[in-house]
Each structure stands twice: as C-alpha cells, then as structure tokens.
Amino acid sequence: MKSTISRLLAPLSSGAVFLTALLFAVSCEKKETPSAASVLPTAAAVEQSITPQVVADQTVSTTPVAAAAPTPSVSATPGKGLRFLAYNVENWLIMEERFDYDTRISTKNAPKPDKEKDAVISLVTSAKPDVFGVCEIGTKEDLLDIQTRLKSAGLDLPHSHFTGGMDRTRHLGLLSRYPIVDTATPADTQYKLNGKEYSIQRGVLDASIKTPDGRSWRFLGVHFKSKREVEDGDQNQMRINEAQLLRQHIDTILRDDPQARLISYGDFNDTRSTATIRAVLGPYNSPRAMTAIPLVDSRQQYWTHFWAKEDIYSRIDFIFHSQSVKDDVIKEESKILDPENWNDASDHRALLGVFR
C-alpha cells in the first residue's frame, strides 16, 4: 500500500504507536476471493492420526531469458549454513483494477508497477538469500519474472517451485540456490463449514532442498485467508481451519521424521495470540511444537505489515521452525528488513532467517 501517511509514519520510532497497533489484525489484500463460513470452535483439537502426504506439483527449474537493470553481483557462500527470506511481495500479478494511492488513479488489468518491482528486487538481492519464499504472485510467469530480475541483479536462484489453492489469482512460489529434491501437498486441504466444503485458498507450498553439506531442509509456505470480511462467511473461522490443516500436515511430517528440518513461513494474516497462530505452533514444549524466530527490525520493532487505509501496523508474517532446527538459528543475524524504501516495494516487510 502506498500512501503519504505510510511514508510519514514509517520512519517513526515511537514504541507506543507500534505496540498499540500490534493488538489489531489487518487485511493485506486489495481484492478478495469470496468463500463461506459461519461458526466453528475457535481451538479445535488437532488429530494425531493423519493420512500420509502425497506428492504434488513437480519442481519447475527455469532458465531466465530476460534482463533487468544490472546491479553489483551478490557473493554466495555455498555450504555454509542457510539464508532464508520470506516475503509477501504485494500483488506481483495482473490486477483487474489496480489503485495507485499516490495518484488516486485506478488502472484496469494492470501489472505491478516497475518501480515497485525494482524496489522488491533491490531488497531481496541485498539480503542475499539462498532460498526465497514468495507470497502473492499471480502465475508461473510472474515467478519467472522475479527469478529473471534477481539473476540480472546478481542473485542466481535457478531452482523454483510454484503452487496454489482454490484462489486462482494469488499463488505461492519458492526460489532456491540449491536443488529442490522433493515437493508435496497435505493429504487434506478441505474443510466443512455450515455443511459446505471449502479448500485452503492459496494452498500450502511444500518443497525440500538439499544444501551442499548434505542436510535437507523442508519449507512449508502459506498465505492464509485475509481479515477482509466476505459476504458468505466468517473470515476468522476460515483462517482457523486453514491453520488446523497446516498443523495436521506438520504433525504428519514430524510423525514420519521427528528430526525433519522444517520451516513454515508466510503471511498468516493473524497476530501471535490468536487461535490461528496457536494452532500452527502446536502443543507447547512438545517435540511437535513449532517456534517463531523472534525477529525485529533495526529499531527493535516487530511489525511486518502496514495497512495504510486504517493506519495500523501489525505482525502477521512469521518464520516458524521445528525443534530440530532450534540450535541452528542465528538470532543476531535474523531480522525484519527495513530499508528506507521498504514501502515502495510492498505493504509487507521481508523476514530474514539465518541458520548455521
């Protein structure tokens, strides 16, 4: 979201503004795909016995063919830990109607402006990720566009995976320096509300990579239902259902491989104490529990999204990890990226997780 308000508020360091805002949840979308829901228990128990996962979309390895404006090359350190970036790039897709908050003009069937794309690429290349988890892209061609621009900017992430759910507009992608050795989907992606059946809107991206040191890392990317109300349902219960299905998938993975190096990330569209996030975290102090990396920005602030329309800052983006990874997290290097032009790129801020 681009607004004069956001540019004025972004540099402020007043703790009161941000701490108050973190109590509120927000929508990160400009357009929503309607679905249904009504009443559901807010913290239903997660089943322990789950059908094993099935292999899904094949990994797509692409070779960039286009070029963007060159910038200095990014140096790699293969085999020495892992740098992971999670980022909602805000509608890197063709929108039926795109509104510019600066000009107050709407344009039909418009792509993400090049100015915004350039800001995204600059931010990502500066972070030097080995693996890049992307939220809110449109098509495989959009993922290729990002991959191509990154390579032209000096960051080569040649391996890719693209997937989605019932939402035909917004999808998930993963780019990696290292080979993607496996992909999967949860065995169960459907839930019922008021006698009707629905699916996880954007699906769950499940991709495993292997680093040169021989270790495997499994990434689960999500973009949960937004806080935006829809005519035929309860957006909160929809999001809780999506979180419970993700937790079931996590339980399946950790049941079959308790030492799985598992990282779940993305735009969860809910704040820390909600039923949504509690479901993803799982049982406290359990081998199945997921833990959030305690990320902050250069001002020691936690928010990851700014909703310009309501002047609300909140943390709705997370990187969670399984217990087998906890000793490998380099907390002092992991952070929320907050360059001066962060809001030229997206209404979200990118999350960097660094592992030994």
Is 107 or 48 the better-scoring residue by pLDDT?
107
Q: Identify each DSSP E strand in the chain by its residue range.
A: 60-61, 82-92, 95-100, 105-110, 131-137, 159-163, 171-176, 180-184, 190-193, 196-199, 205-210, 216-223, 262-267, 290-292, 305-307, 312-314, 317-322, 335-336, 351-355
Inter-residue contact 6 to 204 (CB < 8 Å): no
pLDDT of residue 340: 95
pLDDT of residue 105: 85
Inter-residue contact 22 to 304 (CB < 8 Å): no
Confidence of residue 329 (pLDDT cuts 50, 70, 90): very high
Phi, psi of 309 (to 5 degrees): -60, -35
Q: What is the pLDDT of residues 60-99, one digit of tens each?
A: 333 333 333 333 333 335 447 899 999 999 999 999 999 8
Rounded average pLDDT over 117-122 = 98
Any idea what the Cα angle at residue 45 is, between residues 44 and 51, rounded to 5°? 115
Across the chain, mean pLDDT equals: 83
Q: Is the pLDDT of residue 130 over 90?
A: yes
Alpha helices (H) in 61-159, listed in sequence order: 114-127, 140-152
Q: What is the pLDDT of residues 26-66, one digit of tens each?
A: 344 443 333 333 333 333 333 333 333 333 333 433 333 33
Closest by Cα among 177, 176, 168, 106 to 134: 176
Confidence of residue 204 (pLDDT cuts 50, 70, 90): very high
| CATH number of the domain bearing residue 166 | 3.60.10.10
pLDDT of residue 185: 95
Q: Which DSSP symbol is given to 270? A: S
How much is the pTM? 0.79
Q: What is the pLDDT of residues 246-295, one digit of tens each?
A: 999 999 999 999 999 999 999 999 999 999 999 999 999 899 999 999 99
Q: Is the pLDDT of residue 354 over 90?
A: yes
| Ramachandran area for residue 143 (φ above 0: left; ψ -120 to 50: alpha; else beta) | alpha
Confidence of residue 233 (pLDDT cuts 50, 70, 90): confident
pLDDT of residue 9: 37
Structural tokens at position 167 = 């939402």
pLDDT of residue 62: 38
pLDDT of residue 243: 98
pLDDT of residue 307: 87
Q: Is the pLDDT of residue 183 over 80?
A: yes
pLDDT of residue 176: 98
Which residues constitute the domain of residue 250? 4-355
pLDDT of residue 349: 98
d(CA 208, CA 318): 19
Inter-residue contact 299 to 335 (CB < 8 Å): no
Rounded average pLDDT over 220-247 = 92
Average the pLDDT over each of 137-141, 282-286, 309-313, 321-325 and give the range with the smallest value: 309-313
pLDDT of residue 126: 98
Amino acid at 122: S
Tally of residues, the chain: 356
Number of domains observed in the structure of the chain:
1
pLDDT of residue 168: 94
Average the pLDDT over each of 40-54, 141-155, 205-219 and give the range with the smallest value: 40-54
